[in-house]
C-alpha cells in the first residue's frame, strides 16, 4: 500500500534541536529489519530521539507503525507529499535535524546505491544532503557480501568516513552459516553512542581557529610568504564542527574549500589576521592558533612594481605576536598554539607555553626527512607544561581528532566541558 510522506511528516517545529541526540534510522529491505525495531527501542531507552525512514522494500518486512510506536515519532517512507500540497523537502528537514544517520540493516543494493550517491528515494536523498556522520550495518548472504562489487562499494564508503559495523559470521536467512549476518543491536547502539558523543561533545562552545599562511606584500604584485597549505587548521575547524562547536575560521590564502557550517574570515597579512583574531577572541571558549603567520614583514611596501633592473634592498621588521595578544585579550579562553621548528623543538614549544599563555602547544619539526607543509600527514608532539605526548605519523584529519581529544580533557579539568 502506498503511503504519502505527508501522513508521516511531523511539523518542522517538532524537530527543533533538543538535548537528546537525534538519530535518523534508515531501514531497508532485509529480514534483519526486525532487529532495527529492537535497536530503535534501545536507542530511545538510552536517551536518543529517533526518526525512522523506511524504504519501500523495508515495509514488506516491518511497518512504519512499528517504529512510530517504539520511537514516539512519525516514520517516513517516501519523498513526496500528498498531491496538491507541494514539496515539503523532507530529506532536507531530516538531514538537518540528524546528529547521526544509521542505515540498519543495509542490503547489498543499498550499499551500492550509497556508494554511487543515488538519490531517487527518500533515504538516498537524505544521506546525500546531510552533514551528519553515517553508520552502515550490512546484512546479506555471504556470496553477496564477499563479491568484489560489494567490497569495492564498502571500500568507497569507508574512504568517505562512513563507519561500517559488521557484518558478523553466523546463521543466515537462507539457513546457511557464513559472514553476512547483521551485527547485533547492542554493537550498533554502541557505535551510534560513540559517534553521537563525539558529535555533541562541544555543543554550546565557540572555537576560533586560524589556518594557512600570511602574505606580506613587497609591492603590488610580490609578497613574502611560506609553504603552509592550511590543511591542518582546516582539519581542526572541521573536527570542531563535527563535535558540535560553533566555529570561526580565520584563514590566510589557501586553495581549500570552506568547512560547511563555519564562519570563515579570509585575510592576507599578519596585521589582517591580528585584527580579525582580536575582534573575535573575547567571544571564544577555545582559541587555536594553527596558522603559519609571518614573523617578519617588509618595513616599506613599494607603491608600484619593482623593475628587474632596479637596485633594491629589503628591510624587514618583526610582526606582532598574535597568539600572546589573543591570550591577553581573552584570558578565560583555552589557548592552543602550534610550534614549527628546525631545531630544539621541545624547548621552543615549552617556551611558547609560558610566554603566550597557552595550555597546549602542538609541536612539529621541519627536517630533511619530514616537512608538514602541503602534506596530508603530520608527526607531532602534544606539549603541556608538565608532560608531552608523541603521536605517530598520521593523517592531519586524525591529528586534528587527537588534538581535540586533548582539548576536551583540558576543558573537563577546568569544568568547562558541556555535560
Between CA 254 and CA 213 the distance in angstroms is: 8
Region 274-285: what's the mean pLDDT?
97
Q: Do the beta carbons of residue 164 and residue 138 sit within 8 Å?
A: yes
Are 177 and 232 found together in one domain?
no
pLDDT classification of 404: cutoffs 50, 70, 90: very high
User: In terms of pLDDT, which residue wins out, 61 or 6?
Assistant: 61
Are 175 and 240 found together in one domain?
no
Taking the CA atoms of residue 30, residue 35, residue 41 and residue 47 in that order, the dihedral angle to the nearest 10 degrees is -90
Are 184 and 233 found together in one domain?
no
**Last residue in a domain, options 178, 200, 222:** 200
Are 196 and 211 found together in one domain?
no
Region 358-366: what's the mean pLDDT?
87
Say whether pLDDT at 342 is over 80.
no
Are 195 and 243 found together in one domain?
no
Are 397 and 283 found together in one domain?
yes
Taking the CA atoms of residue 117, residue 118, residue 121 and residue 126 in that order, the dihedral angle to the nearest 10 degrees is 20
Q: For residue 288, which of 214, 215, 244, 238 has the smallest C-alpha distance?
A: 238
Least confident of 104-113, 168-177, 363-372, 406-415: 363-372
**Last residue in a domain, options 151, 180, 200:** 200
Q: Give the chain's domain count.
A: 2
User: In terms of pLDDT, which residue wins out, 114 or 17?
Assistant: 114
> What's residue 293's pLDDT?
93
Kindly state the percentage of the chain with pLDDT values over 70: 90
Cα-based distances in Å from 59 to 23, 29, 67, 78: 20, 7, 11, 11
User: In terms of pLDDT, which residue wins out, 364 or 411?
Assistant: 411
**Last residue in a domain, options 165, 200, 235:** 200
Which residue range is the domain that position 268 belongs to?
206-300+313-413
> What's residue 111's pLDDT?
92
Q: Do the beta carbons of residue 226 and residue 296 sit within 8 Å?
A: no
Q: Is 226 among the residues known to form the active site?
A: yes
Q: Pairing between strand 316-318 and 381-383?
A: unpaired
Kindly state the percentage of the chain with pLDDT values over 90: 42
User: In terms of pLDDT, which residue wins out, 158 or 65?
Assistant: 65
Backbone phi and psi for residue 123, each to the nearest 5 degrees, phi listed first: -65, -45
Region 141-151: what's the mean pLDDT?
89
Catalytic annotation, pick one of 73, 226, 364, 378: 226
pLDDT classification of 45: cutoffs 50, 70, 90: confident
Are 247 and 387 found together in one domain?
yes
Phi-psi label, residue 7: left if phi above 0, alpha if psi -120 to 50, beta otherwise:
alpha
Amino acid at each position: 500500500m502506498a503511503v504519502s510522506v505527508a501522513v508521516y511528516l511531523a511539523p518542522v517545529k517538532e524537530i527543533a534541536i533538543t538535548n537528546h541526540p537525534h538519530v535518523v534510522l534508515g531501514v531497508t529491505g532485509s529480514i534483519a529489519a526486525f532487529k532495527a525495531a529492537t535497536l530503535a527501542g534501545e536507542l530511545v531507552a538510552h536517551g536518543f530521539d529517533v526518526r525512522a525512514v523506511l524504504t519501500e522494500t523495508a515495509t514488506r518486512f516491518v511497518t512504519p507503525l512499528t517504529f512510530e510506536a517504539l520511537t514516539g515519532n512519525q516514520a517516513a517512507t517516501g519523498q513526496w507529499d500528498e498531491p496538491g500540497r507541494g514539496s515539503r523537502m523532507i530529506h532536507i528537514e531530516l538531514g538537518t535535524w540528524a546528529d547521526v544517520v544509521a542505515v540498519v540493516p543495509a542490503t547489498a543494493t543499498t550499499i551500492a546505491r550509497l556508494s554511487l550517491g543515488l538519490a531517487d528515494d527518500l533515504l538516498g536523498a537524505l544521506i546525500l544532503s546531510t552533514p551528519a556522520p553515517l553508520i552502515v550495518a550490512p546484512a546479506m548472504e555471504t556470496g553477496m557480501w564477499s563479491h568484489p562489487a560489494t567490497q569495492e562499494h564498502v571500500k568507497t564508503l569507508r574512504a568517505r568516513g562512513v563507519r561500517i559495523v559488521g557484518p558478523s559470521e553466523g546463521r543466515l536467512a537462507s539457513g546457511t552459516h557464513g559472514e553476512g549476518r547483521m551485527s547485533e543491536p547492542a554493537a550498533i547502539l554502541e557505535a551510534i553512542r560513540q559517534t553521537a558523543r563525539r558529535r555533541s561533545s562541544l555543543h554550546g562552545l565557540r572555537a576560533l581557529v586560524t589556518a594557512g599562511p600570511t602574505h606580506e606584500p613587497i609591492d603590488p604584485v610580490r609578497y613574502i610568504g611560506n609553504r603552509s597549505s592550511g590543511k591542518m587548521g582546516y582539519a581542526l575547524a572541521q573536527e570542531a564542527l563535527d563535535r558540535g562547536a560553533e566555529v570561526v575560521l580565520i584563514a590566510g590564502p589557501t586553495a581549500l574549500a570552506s568547512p560547511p557550517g563555519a564562519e570563515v574570515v579570509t585575510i592576507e597579512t599578519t596585521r589582517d589576521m591580528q585584527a580579525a583574531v582580536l575582534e573575535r577572541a573575547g567571544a571564544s571558549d577555545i582559541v587555536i592558533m594553527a596558522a603559519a603567520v609571518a614573523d617578519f614583514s617588509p618595513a616599506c611596501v613599494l607603491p608600484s612594481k619593482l623593475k628587474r633592473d632596479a637596485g633594491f634592498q629589503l628591510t624587514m621588521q618583526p610582526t606582532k605576536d598574535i597568539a600572546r595578544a589573543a591570550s591577553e585579550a581573552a584570558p578565560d579562553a583555552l589557548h592552543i598554539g602550534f610550534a614549527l621548528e628546525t631545531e630544539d623543538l621541545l624547548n621552543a614549544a615549552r617556551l611558547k607555553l609560558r610566554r603566550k599563555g597557552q595550555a597546549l602547544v602542538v609541536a612539529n619539526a621541519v627536517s630533511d626527512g619530514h616537512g608538514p607543509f602541503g602534506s596530508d600527514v603530520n608527526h607531532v608532539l602534544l606539549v603541556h607544561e608538565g608532560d608531552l605526548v608523541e603521536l605517530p605519523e598520521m593523517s592531519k584529519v586524525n591529528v586534528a581528532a587527537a588534538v581535540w581529544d586533548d582539548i576536551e580533557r583540558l576543558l573537563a579539568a577546568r569544568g568547562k566541558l558541556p555535560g
